[in-house]
Chain A
Amino acid sequence: MGGARTLFDKVWTDHVVVGETEDTPAVLYIDLHLIHEVTTPQAFTLLREQGIAVRRPDLTLATMDHSTPTSAVTSFRDLAVVVGESAARQVQKLQENCEAFGIELLGFDSDDRGIVHVIGPELGATQPGKTIVCGDSHTSTHGAFGALAFGIGTTEVGHVLATQCLLQRKPKTLALDVDGTLPRGVTAKDLILAIIGRIGIDGGTGHVIEYRGTAIAGLGMESRMTICNMSIEAGARAGMIAPDDTTFEYLEGRPRVPQGADWDRAVSRWRALASDDDAAFDRKVSLSAGELQPMVTFGTNPGMVVGINEPVPDGDGDGSFRKALDYMRVETGRPLAGTGVDVVFVGSCTNSRLSDLEQAADVMRGRKVADGVRMLVVPGSQRIKKAAEARGLDRVFIEAGAEWRESGCSMCIGMNGDTVGKGQLSVSTSNRNFEGRQGIGARTVLASPMTAAASAVTGTIADPRPFLRESAS
């Protein structure tokens, strides 16, 4: 090969066990396999049927997040009451499987439990240059560290458990350059929504996106995770950002990163991962951060998005577009700002980290959730919960009238007892506004934590910028 290479090329090449040919895909080695209760039981059943062991339990890490409740539950009996028999059984099954196959489980009793895409980075298990997979499409989150991370199905979960490898065709690359600085009150969430609006929800299909440019370099790790998290909402299985000093500062001292001289060696290896200056990409798209405003979705996929003060477009008579607007009961030609809100959700693997909670709290401090609005704040992990409580953020939310919960996927996916009611409008910091995603007939508007908080306070979809205090950024 030789020549200039992209970040993706470097990580890919570094993990090819057997190269691809016209007749066979590459055998790609996986450095970290994250597993959870929903997409693994059938894979473990297959291993049992075929008498296969988990090849590298030491590279496998389990937690429970999807069908777990966010109310405090200490026994499986309580669990069944909150989430239902079937979900409780699934959680129990994960526990049994992890015991039987020797896999570390960060379960109910663990202070390290949380949403799988929050705890990987938090514990330092997520590292630059690694290949990371999980039976969950938002595995793209970990690409924020310069890892190649993507979601897989349950059959592939079985493949990785059995062999620590996957059969893969090399995807194409898309360079997404964002220059400038995000204006005050405009966050990484607004940026990624704008990107999806620009390239479309299938714009990244078949590609790995590399986010680059001065705006991306200026973001902290939590913001970068928000960006990479939603790569899949643009159809890309993976999104990546070159590791830099911001990355290393975030990781240094975390429980699972290399220590001492090993750390120094790792950092010098990680520094070399960035795309070479003249590396070629299959496609390039560029965007300017300085012109962005807070973004909100108006339809039933994340690509149906507008600036909060911009009129909702009419879709030029497209049937699917019309159907989405009918479901959402949204009027065209008018901005969404001012629309009444029933539920506000701050949480999910997209926006449940400390900085997300701080941004929401900055808007909420000294204010109340509007009458008739239910607000749920769900930290991404038990560690984040503790850190937020140490800073008094829980008090801000509780005194405002919001519910402060245990960690988990919660209302993002509506399979754990936390749901939005039929026909209710929810402003949510999660990643999917699909029909029924948050509950049967639920209408979801995706937004940033600041926009969600401003909407909770006013009871209508609201621009957060008038609520920002001088110190807030």
Chain B
Amino acid sequence: MKPIRRIRARTTVLPTRDIDTDQIIPARFLTTTTREGLGDYLFHDLRFDGDGRPIPDFVLNRAESKGCEILVAGQNLGCGSSREHAPWALLDYGFRAVVSTEIADIFRNNALKNGLVPIVVDAGTHRHLLDNPGIELDIDVARSTVTLPDGQTASFPLDGFARHCLLEGIDQLGYLCQQLDAVRRFEDTRPWTP
């Protein structure tokens, strides 16, 4: 994973609440055995009509969304299925961060493992972001802050370990493998075995 320290990018806004991972990437596209190219299927059934033509009204299909790398979404983003294909699709499409007032647990975990920064902001900041699509945000991972164009800054919760991994581009598997001595001790000394 590449280190992620700072993201300066414009937002695109999908104000709907409870955007589930089936909407982010419908299940019929999960038959892949790789993680590449899933951006083509991102929000597929919202982006394309039954004949595969882009739906002009959908926000990602509008000209002003081009080049936006931060997705601002309604409350409870990423609920539902554990499919990691959801953050893979968002990243492959070009998003680098997602912002909401609440982000579902498994999606949030999956996002962090892939360098998609999940940002939970207060309701006031969120309202402002929903009302002002396309503004440029400055995300500082080290300080866990989002700064708006008017200089207003909001902080977001980010677990210390997750922050460290993002900043240094650390693969968590490597860290886990360093714990294997402790794992062996645990296995050797536990009172029962599965």
Binding site for B on A (CB under 8 A): 14, 17-18, 22-25, 27, 29, 31-32, 38-39, 41-42, 45-46, 50, 52, 59, 66-67, 83-84, 86-87, 89-90, 93, 127, 130, 135-137, 151-156, 158-159, 162-165, 167, 169, 171, 201-202, 205-206, 232, 235, 237, 265-266, 269, 301, 318-320, 323, 413-415, 422, 432, 434-437, 440-441
Contacts and interface: CB of A to CB of B under 8 A. Distances in A.
Contact of A415 (B23, B27, B110): B27
B18 to A, nearest CB: 5
A17 B182 contact: yes
Contact of B84 (A52, A155, A235): A155
Contacts of A152: 82, 106, 109
B152 interface: no
B23 A434 contact: yes
Contacts of A32: 194
Interface size class of B (residues with CB under 8 A): 35 or more
A205 B186 contact: no
Contact of A163 (B74, B161, B176, B192): B176
A421 to B, nearest CB: 12
B9 interface: no
Interface string B73-108: 011100111111000000000000000001011100
A282 B101 CA distance: 21
A434 B22 contact: yes
Contacts of A437: 22, 27
A29 B189 CA distance: 13
Interface in B2-30: 15-18, 20, 22-23, 26-28, 30
Contact of A436 (B26, B109, B160, B180): B26
Nearest to A160: B176
Given A25-B161, A137-B81, A159-B173, A201 B45 contact: no
A235 B76 contact: yes
Given A153-B82, A235-B104, A162 B164 contact: no
Given A41-B33, A90-B31, A154-B84, A435 B23 contact: yes
A301 B74 contact: no
A319 B14 CA distance: 12
B106 A151 contact: yes
A323 B18 CA distance: 12
A169 B159 contact: yes
A267 to B, nearest CB: 12
A206 B82 contact: no
Q: Which 5 A-B pairs have the closest CB atoms?
A: A31-B194, A41-B33, A153-B110, A153-B84, A151-B82
Nearest to A435: B23
B177 interface: yes
